[in-house]
Structure 1
């Protein structure tokens, strides 16, 4: 009989600690026994004591037959998968592995434009050719919504030779597409539906949340277990259902992408988070939903804020909404989300999950207390009062008013892999018009590519990047993070 409450990796670590084994093996800190290390003083010696490597009894992530294999099997049962793989290189690693498993060089893969840049990395590594499609879009909040089944059907009719379809479910803001209908359409072409479910590992533990991707018919999904559950950052899971994924190739790919120096702290946190949700999942999600509902109701009472909610249901691309994500539109205050994020952090020691030019995004879990919620409400009220007393802070709003935060998809002149491996040259951003990008440029967060390797710079993209640069946005992916210059392909 399988006991879901078991935590085999944690049990093995406890046994190793109890045995007081003398360590003539890696890592060099020998369980935290070396003095004068500030990290040991800050984190505690127990964390270092549990930081072991794959010594006998601890199994091997790349060839699991012992406690790791057992923990992964338990996770598969918990999350409704046929097979689950633990990831120590983040959800990025899992998404890259899925793309590389499904596609050979030159193969087409359908992907929405609001993908995380890690998926683009998988496309570059695989040599696949992305067929981008635009998700639905909300102009009030300036955010991408979900993907409509009609968009997928149209894309597949145009590109019937596509080898896979990848969907973001849910979006960063918690928007869930009609994945069941999408899965039926994709499977008519006998190709796999891959799902970036990084922000949905808590789905399936409460009836008021969207269905899990696997429940809706996906062939594979990747969970950022650390995003909404309680594992350590960088600890994630990859789930497989059915036989459309070549598991032999997937496992070989994971062996290439994952570190051979496995972190048992990350594995133990996955083991613990899984058991925690087995025992208390619905209770924890219920707490998060109650806190979120309280915040949503109170935020609606404060003039100036728009709260994305169920009023979007029924629109194209919006089949369901994860209420634990709270997207706060602040355009009525005539400030940018970037300014608001900084003001809250500096004046109230509150850090939101993400800020873009028009919004603040909150992620609510059972780890957020009523005190947290009250402090946030107080901070947002005081910020409104501050803006009213200091109208000069709204002067820069004219810079962003009317900008399209989701530039149209430019021409793909060559595959991302060809551009990545090409001979780059440096140009100023203003001179890049018409040239092919040799690099990915993303505003981070959320990490959605503005331009990908192989795409041509358009006036809209150059204008958008110039405005983001003026606003002090953090760029990722590009060689020159100041964006004074960009890398282009010599033609």
Structure 2
């Protein structure tokens, strides 16, 4: 673990400001040359933004082989999260998730993974050639969403697959549920399994004592962290934190460089540098206000009646060891509404954008940039929606994701590279899928390449389509057709 470091420093941001102050005459890329070549855009976003949108050079270091100010900045980030080493990511946490899996898994290696993992994890499995051993998360049938993994299912999976190279965790889930990460790490270490943590929605958690604990803090080997989601940095900027001195950091770097751009945005990287400083120095103070707003919003929404804003009351339910209160999920089914419908009404009638909607819920992310006025606007809008659109007692029965994991017939990698043909979705029952289907957000696959398509899966996809869920993964944008393995007859 890195020694105590001065978290007030922002080495990359400082170097970028010094470069801008020096008034260099640029004969390198990018071609807009400090914004001069793109005046309309510069006028709107501000000239400073384009003045520091520059290319790698000696004084600014290089993301592909950091030895200067980027290395200093990533060391500070690693120390802030309690790790040994860190890398900046400008392809989002998706690239970090894939790098984690590829760092530990070779073709044919097993990896234990919750079924509600993000699509990027499936991408990592395809790229690595690993064999996924899915652990079914607990499903809360009252609100119709997947939670974390129970310790019982984790133990069973580890006992049945002692040769697995790694276990993949989500901390927290999109909706805020947290598995018992500390105990899972202990079990994995006894079995010499690596622990890889997707903390896309947990960048803030390490900086306040009343929030769930971060994976690195309890001994996980690697964590991919979306600083842009809840940490304050710019969209697409993330961190990969390493917590194992035995891990070959140069190998990890080479894996990241396989897919990450060689032209990393200094705007993105500098924003991580500053966001890390803010969290490290003022995180507890700022997150205290975030928690106050989250609790206020949750209480007021529950007072309206008909809605259920769920939170820490779920702790103790299957798959919920802890809960991230900054995720303000609201169940709307009892008003005879769908999450998709409430999302559309909020945007079209009240100019409010939520993070996601599903069949029965909406999810609002409360973070460093929220203020009480915005929470009040949400509360008032939900109160009016109940009065104008609510139809209590007319809510349909809960349609949950399929409770049984699909049968994996061949590895996702082999399926991805196999010969495929296109059929109507309804005609795919009994066949082997050649592509993924997922609702996005949150990007959790219903079916992935190599899995047998069942009637239950098709009916669930059709139910999502009927509610105008944003489905992705198939080449057909409307998911009327799907690719299956095999040649046309």
Same fold (TM over 0.5): yes
TM-score (norm 2): 0.96
Task: Using the TM superposition, give the Cα deviation of residue 407 of structure 1 relative to its aligned residue in structure 2, in angstroms.
Answer: 4.9
Q: For 2:9, which of 6, 10, 15 is the aligned residue?
A: 6
Q: Which runs of 5+ in 1 are unaligned?
A: none
Segment drifting more, 470-479 vs 259-268: 470-479
The one-character-per-residue Cα deviations of 1:411-451 (angstroms, maximum 9, x if unpaired) are 11100000100111000001000111100110111100000
Task: Using the TM superposition, give the Cα deviation of residue 248 of structure 1 relative to its aligned residue in structure 2, in angstroms.
Answer: 2.9
The one-character-per-residue Cα deviations of 1:133-168 (angstroms, maximum 9, x if unpaired) are 101110011111111222111101111111111011
| CA distance in 2 between partners of 1:312 and 1:18 (Å) | 52
The one-character-per-residue Cα deviations of 1:252-275 (angstroms, maximum 9, x if unpaired) are 101112100111000000001011
Tell me which residue corresponds to 2:27.
Answer: 24
Tell me which residue corresponds to 1:116.
Answer: 118
Tell me which residue corresponds to 2:318.
Answer: 316
2:334–2:393 contact (8 Å) kept in structure 1: no
1:82–1:242 contact (8 Å) kept in structure 2: yes
The one-character-per-residue Cα deviations of 1:173-231 (angstroms, maximum 9, x if unpaired) are 11111111111111111121101111111112111111111112211111110110110
Q: For 1:411, which of 397, 407, 413 is the aligned residue?
A: 407
Q: Is 1:446 aligned to residue 448 of structure 2?
A: no
Tell me which residue corresponds to 2:347.
Answer: 345
- How many residues align? The count is 484
Q: Is 1:152 aligned to residue 154 of structure 2?
A: yes
Task: Using the TM superposition, give the Cα deviation of residue 466 of structure 1 relative to its aligned residue in structure 2, in angstroms.
Answer: 1.0
Task: Using the TM superposition, give the Cα deviation of residue 71 of structure 1 relative to its aligned residue in structure 2, in angstroms.
Answer: 0.3
Tell me which residue corresponds to 2:472.
Answer: 476
2:221–2:244 contact (8 Å) kept in structure 1: yes
TM-score (norm 1): 0.96
Segment drifting more, 100-109 vs 463-472: 463-472
Query: Cα RMSD over matched residues?
Result: 1.5
| CA distance in 2 between partners of 1:463 and 1:354 (Å) | 22
Tell me which residue corresponds to 2:232.
Answer: 230
1:299–1:305 contact (8 Å) kept in structure 2: yes
| CA distance in 2 between partners of 1:158 and 1:2 (Å) | 43
Correspondence list, 1:293-312, <5 A: 293-312=295-314
2:176–2:325 contact (8 Å) kept in structure 1: yes
The one-character-per-residue Cα deviations of 1:86-137 (angstroms, maximum 9, x if unpaired) are 1111000000000011100011100000000001000000011100110111
1:203–1:212 contact (8 Å) kept in structure 2: yes
* Paired residue secondary structure (2:60): coil
The one-character-per-residue Cα deviations of 1:307-356 (angstroms, maximum 9, x if unpaired) are 21222212232111111111111110111100000000011100111100
| CA distance in 1 between partners of 2:331 and 2:235 (Å) | 27
Provide closer, same or farther for how the CA distance between residues 49 and 333 of structure 1 changes in structure 2, counting only shifts above 3 A: same
- Which contiguous aligned blocks of 4+ residues in structure 1 show a shift greater than 6 angstroms? none
Segment drifting more, 278-287 vs 112-121: 278-287
Correspondence list, 1:233-272, <5 A: 233-243=235-245, 245-272=247-274
Q: Which runs of 5+ in 2 are unaligned?
A: none
Task: Using the TM superposition, give the Cα deviation of residue 380 of structure 1 relative to its aligned residue in structure 2, in angstroms.
Answer: 0.3
Task: Using the TM superposition, give the Cα deviation of residue 243 of structure 1 relative to its aligned residue in structure 2, in angstroms.
Answer: 3.6
Tell me which residue corresponds to 1:87.
Answer: 89
* Paired residue secondary structure (1:204): helix
| CA distance in 2 between partners of 1:41 and 1:435 (Å) | 54
